């Protein structure tokens, strides 16, 4: 991780939060949630071939898709709904801050709605995922890598379905 002094956007966002009159507990949670998102985003963006190491460097990569992927990641990893919703609130505040200081010209958190507390893992799982998982286990791939591969494939298939249905609508 980079030196804190070099992450201008993070420092300014934390100042912004401090001026909002949050309780000490909320302020601590926002900072923790921000750190969690930054760590996740760094890994996600690096997996796509770009080397970033700070929130300032992440900003150009912020998109509606990245926010949705983060939400899906938390749901797939059974993060409690209360924590997911708090982290989404942090992202919405970050988006507001980035718009206000003109670091972004769109709301990357648009459409990131809170989840219900009774949200469960989807019941239907394509059997091919189990086959893929078994293959990875037989190749002695680490459990964390397996979880990430499965998550990435699910995201890709969701994206593919959305784009196929979108292109079907445009053909008519």
Which residue from 26, 12, 27 is spatially nearest to 59, judged by alpha carbons?
12
Domain ranges of the chain: 4-100, 127-171
Report H helices in the chain.
8-18, 24-47, 55-58, 64-76, 81-100, 127-138, 143-171
Q: Does the pLDDT value for residue 166 go beyond 80?
A: no
Sign, CA dihedral 123-126-127-133, equals negative
pLDDT digits (tens, 9 = 90+) for 73-117: 999 888 999 999 999 999 999 999 999 999 999 999 998 899 886
CATH of domain 4-100: 1.10.150
The percent of residues above 70 in pLDDT, for the chain, comes to: 84
């Amino acid at each position: 991780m980079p030196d804190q002094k070099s992450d201008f956007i993070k420092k300014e966002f934390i100042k912004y939060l401090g001026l909002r009159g949050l309780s000490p507990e909320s302020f601590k949670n926002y900072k923790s949630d921000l750190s969690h998102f930054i760590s996740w985003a760094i890994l996600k963006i690096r997996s796509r071939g770009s080397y970033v190491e700070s929130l300032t460097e992440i900003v150009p990569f912020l998109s509606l898709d990245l926010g949705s992927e983060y939400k899906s990641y938390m749901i797939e990893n059974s993060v409690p709904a209360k924590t997911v919703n708090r982290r989404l609130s942090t992202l919405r505040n970050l988006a507001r801050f980035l718009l206000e200081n003109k670091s972004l010209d769109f709301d990357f958190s648009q459409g990131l709605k809170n989840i219900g507390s009774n949200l469960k893992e989807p019941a239907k799982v394509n059997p091919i995922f189990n086959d893929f998982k078994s293959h990875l286990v037989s190749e002695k791939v680490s459990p964390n890598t397996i979880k990430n591969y499965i998550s990435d494939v699910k995201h890709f298939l969701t994206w593919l379905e959305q784009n196929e249905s979108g292109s079907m609508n445009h053909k008519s």
